[in-house]
Amino acid sequence: MLVCNDADAAVHAEYTLGDGGDDLILVKIGLGVGCGLIVAGHRVRGAHFAAGEIGHVAVGTDGGELCGCGNVGCLETWIAAPRLQKAIADSPSGPDGPLRAAGERLAIALAPVVAALDLSEVVLAGPHELVDGSLLSAVDETLRRRMLARNASTLEVRVAADADDIVLRGAAVLVLWDQWGVA
């Protein structure tokens, strides 16, 4: 039996079928927020198979909403797609403000991971109208400000290609790897 979450499947699709390199983190924004990690060409799972579960990392000290996990200010309460769509709908100045704020919070959570693992790529997957544009720009700018200049100069921050079916393609890749040793 082969089991993984959507972010882990998505990172396999990006690595195997997309433009992903050997050291990348893919952030999947949907009903929640999760990451898949590839380091030195291998998926990172962690001791409890929870590597990349950044949705419940508290970002900022300015409070925030109560999360389903019981904590306040989890990344997921700021950038999960339904919450971000609500923030945009409630914003009198349009989508740019909420999307930039979400991108900055995401980059604050990602910067130590990207720096500690010396990753070369940050890939965002999720609803195109949310992840591309202002959110992507804010992630890129904030990450570069929070990292050593030499590491930031080679960092690529982008949106996943063909993100609509990235989880399904990743699941297929995992089956090929597991059953036949090919991808």
Q: What is the 3-state secondary structure (H, E, C) of 59-123?
A: CCCCCCCECCCCCECEHHHHHCHHHHHHHHHHCCCCCHHHHHHHHHHHHHHHHHHHHHHCCCEEE
Stated pTM of the model: 0.90
Residue 1 forms part of a structural domain: no
Phi-psi region of 156 (alpha: psi -120 to 50; beta: other; left: phi over 0): beta
* pLDDT at residue 135, rounded to an integer: 97
Q: For residue 23, give the nearest of 150, 130, 128, 151 by alpha carbon.
A: 151
Residue 21 forms part of a structural domain: yes
Q: For residue 82, give the nearest of 6, 29, 5 by alpha carbon.
A: 29
CATH of the domain at 15: 3.30.420.40
Q: Is the separation of the CB atoms in 71 and 58 below 8 Å?
A: yes
Residue 182 forms part of a structural domain: no
Residue 31 forms part of a structural domain: yes
* pLDDT at residue 150, rounded to an integer: 72
Residue 13 forms part of a structural domain: yes
Q: Which domain holds residue 129?
A: 6-175
Q: Which residues contact 63 (CB under 8 A, 6 or more apart)?
A: 72, 73
Residue 171 forms part of a structural domain: yes
* pLDDT at residue 2, rounded to an integer: 65
Residue 183 forms part of a structural domain: no
* pLDDT at residue 117, rounded to an integer: 92
Structure tokens at 173: 């890749």
Structural domain count, the chain: 1
Distance CA(126)–CA(165), nearest Å, equals 10
Residue 159 forms part of a structural domain: yes
pLDDT tens for each residue of the chain, 183 residues long = 567 788 888 898 899 888 888 999 999 999 999 999 999 998 888 888 888 889 988 887 777 788 888 888 899 999 999 999 999 999 999 899 999 999 999 999 999 999 999 999 999 999 999 999 999 999 999 999 998 777 777 899 999 987 788 888 888 888 887 677 665
